[in-house]
Amino acid sequence: MVLSDEAVAAVRALGPKAVPTLLNWLRSSDSSVSRKANIVLERGLKLPVRVPTNEDKRMRAMYGFRALGPAARSAFSALVAIALNSPDEWQRGDAINALTESDAETMRLLAGGLKSPDREVRLRAAFALACIRIAPDAVCLPALEGALNDPDTGVRGEAAKGIALFHQQLKACADRLDHRDAEVRASAARVVGGYRSRARAFLPALEAAVRDSDPEVCDAIAEAIQQVRGRGSP
């Protein structure tokens, strides 16, 4: 399920006023019994019957938060708490997806979970950072690199997998700097810029794209070059 353009427009028109309702929807949980019953009905018996769950509510909430983006900032700390502490894995996953348009400060809150005495919370924090990947150089990669020294083997492994995903994202975005779609090129440049000095190997690709025919792409590439070179550079 994806929100229609009309629904996205309606959520954005409400702005922060939509947050309490979306948060209530995302906090809706289901029993393991109802989930298992649906798995048996759909996959085992292949019947077009479903036991009622709150999955649709959580999905609407997740897409609603993504549509709001920064306007949902008041809910970010609550979503982080759900992502790290909820015993419901589906709810944790929806909270992570709801944070894909959050910010660096939210990534710092998630990274704080890597300091928890609870192994499960540390695992969830590493997983969430690797999924969302906002502020890679400023927050996520340093946090995951620190977690490579975690006393737990599983946490160290999750951190290593997360770091590998960041490297894959950086290369994939650098390869899209000459994509035929201007929006894709601009988005790729912004992501590469977020890696700052870690993206130095891709500086020639950014410099080669600086004369892009689209003004928005040019601005994104110029900003990325400054981030990669360092703010003091010309």
Q: Could you tell me the maximum CA-CA distance found in the chain, to the nearest angstrom?
A: 65
Chain segment 179-219, per-residue pLDDT in tens: 999 999 999 999 999 999 999 999 999 999 989 999 999 99
Give the Cα separation of 222 and 193 in Å (integer).
9
How many H helices and E strands in the chain? 13, 0
Query: Tell me, what's the pLDDT at 191?
Result: 96
Minimum mean pLDDT among 25-34, 42-51, 93-102: which range?
42-51
For residues 158-173, average pLDDT:
97
For residues 16-35, average pLDDT:
83
Classify domain 103-172 by CATH number: 1.25.10.10
Contact predicate 189/177, CB 8 Å:
yes
Q: 98: phi > 0 → left, psi -120 to 50 → alpha, else beta; which?
A: alpha
At residue 42 the predicted structure's pLDDT band, cuts being 50, 70 and 90, is low
Domain boundaries of the chain, sorted by first residue: 1-102, 103-172, 176-234
Contact predicate 189/224, CB 8 Å:
yes
**Angle in degrees, CA 133, 125, 190, rounded to 5:** 10
Answer whether residue 34 shows pLDDT above 90: no
Handedness of CA 190, 128, 166, 232 (dihedral sign): positive
Chain segment 61-110, per-residue pLDDT in tens: 999 999 999 999 999 999 999 999 999 999 999 999 999 999 999 999 99
